[in-house]
Chains A and B, each alone.
Chain A
Amino acid sequence: MSRELLNARRLLCPLPVIRTQDKVKQLKMGDQLEVVCTDPGVMHDIPAWCRINGHKVLEAISGDGEYTIILEVGE
């Protein structure tokens, strides 16, 4: 299991979702991805994308104008 970081700062939705989607394609089931964003829309969009595609949101944190989502790759 690995943990990767994705910098999606300054990108506006849906680009953080697209970058997340593209990064997840390179990961294996059980791997974790930490996505750091500045668009508050990701707090809705990335969890929705995870639910649709079978991934699990482990944590969603906001503060200091940044929004971080940690997800675990599903099947």
Chain B
Amino acid sequence: MLAAKTIMEQGVHVEGINFFTGFCVEGHTHAIRANDKAKPKRNNSLWVAEQLGMKLHIVDVIEEYKDVLINPKHGYGAHMNPCLDCKIFMVNKAKQWIVENGFDFIITGEVIGQRPMSQRKATMPIVARESGADDLLLRPLCAKNLPATLPEREGWVDREKLHDFSGRSRKPQMEMAEQFGFDEYAQPAGGCCFLTDASYSSKLVDLWKARDGDKQYDLDDVMLLKVGRHIRPEQNFKLIVAREEGEGRFLQGYKKEFITMNCTTHPGPLVLVDGSPSAEDLYLAARITARYGQGRDAEQVDVNIMSKDGSERTIQVKPFGTEEIPQAWFI
């Protein structure tokens, strides 16, 4: 937002590009979880573009992003976040976009030292070089700490009016936001990617392991890892237990692709069973399903099991006790 505004203030026409990898935090989780209703459901990139009065292009990179996640040349961060490869990929996509759409250069909001993996002094030239953007990549917020880029050398932008921010502190950015009159903006260092989340990353690794190391995934896989409580009693199956009404509604949409369970004698969550469970496994899954319903303290409850083809049957089970589900089953 600040980088774009800095350049727009110099009379340069700026348009935004937002890449959708499938792992973006905002939007999906707000849409799914009923408990998040109080939070605004707006898309931050659209909101920023509107505040700045610029066009925004949202680009679906879900398919192409798979290779970045599965084979990151520069490795992962603390979790499954391939931040440096991700940045190189996105700047490369932006380079392709400007060529196709007649734009002259790329700007990003990067600041040297702001992020431990992808925004270090050493990685700035790597992103520019490996993305193919080279000196068409201008970072207005820290440009004075870097060699002059083509837009600066050619006088398309005035280098003197660019900035020299560095480090993790967001104070200078906050002061600049205040000068521009922005009293609302996305939380700094808020983590906009699920791949930086420990819990999400564990679920992703578990998914790959359960598929014998096959790391391919589709959008539904990515979405389902964001939803519910994931419990894997055995390698051949896991349960996804809705935690609240919104998640239950969301999981309803997967009834034709998964075995589903719900307690019929007491209110309780919808549960998806992923994998190839045996009859014995389904009995165990039903006991877990019963554990998360209001009949958890009953001696016996009825659990409905629906197959992918829509056929149904009901079994009677004793719900698992709170302490009976091993902690190791929770992903």
Contacts and interface: CB of A to CB of B under 8 A. Distances in A.
Contacts of A18: 20, 58-60
Given A13-B27, A40-B41, A48-B46, 5 more contacts: A14-B27, A14-B45, A15-B20, A21-B58, A44-B41
A5 interface: no
A59 B30 CA distance: 23
Contact of B56 (A12, A39, A52): A52
Contacts, number: 67
A51 interface: yes
Contacts of B31: 12-13, 39-41
Interface in A13-64: 13-15, 17-18, 21, 39-41, 43-45, 48-49, 51-53
Interface residues of A, number: 20
Question: B interface, by DSSP: helix, strand, loop or mixed?
Answer: mixed
How many of chain B's residues touch chain A, expressed as a range?
20 to 34
Contacts of A49: 46, 56, 58
B50 interface: yes
Interface of A: 10, 12-15, 17-18, 21, 39-41, 43-45, 48-49, 51-53, 65
If over half of A's interface residues share one DSSP class (helix, strand or loop), that class is named, otherwise mixed; here it is: helix
Contact of B43 (A10, A17, A40): A17
Kindly list the 4 A-B residue pairs having the minimum CB-CB distance in the complex, ordered from nearest: A13-B27, A41-B41, A48-B46, A39-B31
A7 to B, nearest CB: 14
B3 interface: no
Contacts of B284: none
Contacts of A10: 253
